[in-house]
């Protein structure tokens, strides 16, 4: 199987969009401040924009689509006709596992970050009580998702390319075997014909 440029473009594009959205989610994390209610009885949290949640969920979806494309094209390494044994197969298996680990890590960061960013603390306690804090997403969760998204992109590209190489090698190997068998049969027929001429 030859490497398809269109498949590579789809994989890279989806991963890069997810990466950019994850970076945007990190920069637009929701902030909050404690303010008293109108009756001065309780403190409550006022939160800023929830843009990070939308960015994070969008990155989650794009990354999921990209991983689905890679798995579908390569038949998830398990349901194809098999790869030729050797270094290419070993590398393909390694990057297959690595791509799934980085993919799952990125998805976990993006989903957990989106859920935490969407959570808004309501009333925090009686007014004038000190040391009140509004729960917000800590810094670095979406950044970690972005880093794992980039690693997933690299691993997916290498896995796809090596898988195609190993798969193509298998086709060439069987083709050469068939050519060898054909030429052997042709040589045998020549020997039989020569024997018949000698008897004549």
Write down the domain spans for the chain.
Answer: 5-176
DSSP type of residue 135:
-
Beginning with the edge strand found earlier in the chain, give each strand of the sheet holding 123-126 in spatial order. 32-36, 42-47, 123-126
In this predicted structure, what is the pLDDT of residue 107? 96
Both tokens assigned to 152: 């997933």
Separation of alpha carbons 145 and 197, rounded Å: 77
Separation of alpha carbons 77 and 3, rounded Å: 15
- Per-residue CA distances from 100 to 6, 17, 42, 126, 145 (Å): 22, 19, 47, 48, 14
Phi, psi (degrees; rounded to nearest 5) at 15: -65, -45
Q: Give the tens place of pLDDT for each residue, 121-178.
A: 776 665 555 555 688 888 999 999 999 999 999 999 999 988 888 775 444 444 444 4
Check pLDDT > 70 for residue 84: no
Q: Give the tens place of pLDDT for each residue, 48-81.
A: 878 899 999 999 999 999 999 999 988 877 665 6
Which pLDDT band holds residue 89 (cuts at 50, 70, 90)?
confident
């Amino acid at each position: 199987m030859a490497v398809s440029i269109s498949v590579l473009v789809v994989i890279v594009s989806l991963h890069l969009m997810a990466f950019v959205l994850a970076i945007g989610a990190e920069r637009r994390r929701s902030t909050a401040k404690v303010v008293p209610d109108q009756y001065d009885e309780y403190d409550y949290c006022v939160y800023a924009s929830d843009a990070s949640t939308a960015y994070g969920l969008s990155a989650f979806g794009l990354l999921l689509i990209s991983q689905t494309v890679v798995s579908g094209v390569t038949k998830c390494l398990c349901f194809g006709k098999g790869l030729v044994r050797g270094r290419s197969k070993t590398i393909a298996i390694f990057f297959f596992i690595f791509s799934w680990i980085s993919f799952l890590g990125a998805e976990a960061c993006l989903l957990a970050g989106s859920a935490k960013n969407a959570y808004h603390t309501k009333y925090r306690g009686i007014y004038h009580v000190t040391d009140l804090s509004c729960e917000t997403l800590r810094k670095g969760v979406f950044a970690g998702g972005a880093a794992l998204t980039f690693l997933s992109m690299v691993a997916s590209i290498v896995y796809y390319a090596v898988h195609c190489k190993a798969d193509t090698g298998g086709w060439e190997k069987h083709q050469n075997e068939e050519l060898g068998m054909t030429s052997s049969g042709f040589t045998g027929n020549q020997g039989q014909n020569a024997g018949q001429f000698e008897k004549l």
